Amino acid sequence: MPENISVILSEPRPDDPGVEALADSLAERLAGRPGLRLARVANLYDLEPAGPVMESIRRIEGDLVVLSALYPRATFWTLKTAGVPGCLADRGESAERAIWCLRLHPGADAGEILGQIDRIVARAHGGATTPGPGGQPVRPSAPAHQRWYPVIDRQRCSGCLECLNFCLFGVYGVDAAGGLLIEQPDACRAGCPACSRICPEGAIMFPQHVDPAIAGDDKASLEGLKLDLSQLFAGADPSVMATAERDRALAAVETREDSRGGDQLDDLVDEMDEMDL
């Protein structure tokens, strides 16, 4: 019997408007569909790489179809960064299993997405239209807390380490061979996309950013990003913008630490008052 294909349905975030209804409709229509195993999981970008959900995704064998509100490039590299084996489908021949990344967005049509999945199943089964029985639908995994960190497109990254030298928050590091590591992803400042603007290869994505070029849209080129920015910000240099964004994030941290220091002092004074000192 031909091998089943696994479909991972990544829960949209509440700030992905219009996608939740699409995800529900797809989950309903995919459940028990012949030739497929469906797993509905918390938003892929928010999953901890060492957590049980990502571990179970790593253990899935055979081709994968991933439905997510992220751009396909961001979905793929989020999975790869978490150690999920496979190559991006339709990018030439590869010995690795294929990962198909389909984007859920407000304008997407559930019927069209189901048609794409049917074509993927038929292709995997050598054109057979009646592949094996479907698997059981899997309940959504527990919602994860919302994370914010850079995702690197390793096919684009040249290893120049400009991002490492630019970031002041210890997000990046190097491995034993001198290659780029995302050492402390959660040290990245929420909402800050600064280093994506200084990467010469356009390799750094922030999948939840509103700008498609920063979020991983393949069609939004690096040159396009720079052009759009200069139009939007009256000729501002992207590196100047990036420095301003990074420094704003740093100032916000310092302000928070100052106010925390003040709170601690207030607590101490209260304690001393209570002790009648």
Q: Which residues bind ligand SF4 (CB under 6 A)?
A: 150, 152, 157-163, 166-167, 169, 171, 180, 188-189, 192-195, 199-201, 203-204, 246, 249
In the bound complex, what is the minimum distance in angstroms from residue 51's beta carbon to ligand SF4?
21
Q: List, in order, residues 6 or more apart from 249 with CB less than 8 Å away.
A: 169, 189, 192, 194
Which C-beta is closer to ligand SF4: that of 110 or that of 252? 252
Q: How many residues does the chain have?
A: 277
Spatial CA neighbour of 28 closest among 144, 101, 110, 146: 110
d(CA 41, CA 75): 13
In the bound complex, what is the minimum distance in angstroms from residue 199's beta carbon to ligand SF4?
3
Which C-beta is closer to ligand SF4: that of 112 or that of 257? 257
In the bound complex, what is the minimum distance in angstroms from residue 194's beta carbon to ligand SF4?
4
Which amino acid, one-letter code, is at 120? Answer: I
In the bound complex, what is the minimum distance in angstroms from residue 173's beta carbon to ligand SF4?
11
**Tokens representing residue 9 in the block:** 């349905």
Strand partners, 182: 172
In the bound complex, what is the minimum distance in angstroms from residue 151's beta carbon to ligand SF4?
10
In the bound complex, what is the minimum distance in angstroms from residue 140's beta carbon to ligand SF4?
29
Which C-beta is closer to ligand SF4: that of 95 or that of 176? 176
* 111 sits in which H/E element: helix 110-124
Which C-beta is closer to ligand SF4: that of 174 or that of 268? 174
d(CA 125, CA 147): 37
Which C-beta is closer to ligand SF4: that of 201 or that of 228? 201
Which C-beta is closer to ligand SF4: that of 29 or that of 209? 209
Can you give the three-state secondary structure of 4-68, one letter per residue?
CEEEEEECCCCCCCCHHHHHHHHHHHHCCCCCEEEEEECCHHHCCCCCHHHHHHHHCCCCEEEEE
In the bound complex, what is the minimum distance in angstroms from residue 234's beta carbon to ligand SF4?
23
Give one word for 11, left, alpha or beta, with left for phi > 0 and alpha for psi -120 to 50.
beta
Place of tokens 């302000």: 255
Which C-beta is closer to ligand SF4: that of 102 or that of 180? 180
* 214 sits in which H/E element: helix 212-215
d(CA 41, CA 56): 11
**Tokens representing residue 180 in the block:** 């780029």
